[in-house]
Amino acid sequence: MARTLPPAAGPAVILGADTEVVLDGRLLGKPRDAADAARMLRDLRGREHEVITGLAIVETGPSGGAPRQEIAAVTTRVRMGHYGDADIDAYVATGEPLDKAGGYAVQGLGGRLVEAVDGCFTNVVGLPLTTTRALLARRGLL
């Protein structure tokens, strides 16, 4: 039996974000499997890379009018440590890197592999909070 939802009291707001790791111009998305995660971590070892998150806020217009949108991108530089193959194997065995861009989670166990973050830490986590807040504020949504 189909149900009809009541109309929204105001405009709908949609926030979307996606994060990529970029090493030497090459995108490192989420690893396909454990071997791919280990390969990414070997490639990143002892090197700097960029973490780029694209953000979009779309606000539906009143009475079906044109939606308003705002977009932004945030880039953070990350330097990985000089960890060994045993460290990679142990980390990959936790399963944590399998759904993370670049094969690591800075906010989790993967933080042990990171030497330094230059820029927005929450961007590396996956949602740059300062930029997100600014976008929402500009739309009058905070």
pLDDT > 90? residue 123: yes
Q: Could you say which architecture CATH assigns to the domain 13-138?
A: Alpha-Beta Complex (3.90)
Instruction: Look at residue 4 in the predicted model and tell me its pLDDT.
Output: 65
Instruction: Look at residue 10 in the predicted model and tell me its pLDDT.
Output: 65
Tokens 């002892």 belong to 46
pLDDT > 90? residue 105: yes
> Residue type at 63?
S
> Residue type at 1?
M
More confidently predicted of 7 and 39 = 39
Active-site position among 18, 33, 85, 89: 18
* Rounded average pLDDT over 13-24: 95
* Rounded average pLDDT over 96-122: 97
18 is a catalytic site residue: yes
Q: What is the pLDDT of residues 24-48, one digit of tens each?
A: 999 999 999 999 999 999 999 999 9
More confidently predicted of 110 and 9 = 110
pTM, 2 dp: 0.86
Domain boundaries, the chain: 13-138
Give the distance, in angstroms, between the CA of residue 28 and the centroid of all CA atoms in the same chain: 12
Instruction: Look at residue 141 in the predicted model and tell me its pLDDT.
Output: 81
Instruction: Look at residue 9 in the predicted model and tell me its pLDDT.
Output: 61
d(CA 53, CA 19): 4
Lowest-confidence pick of 5-9, 66-70, 74-78:
5-9
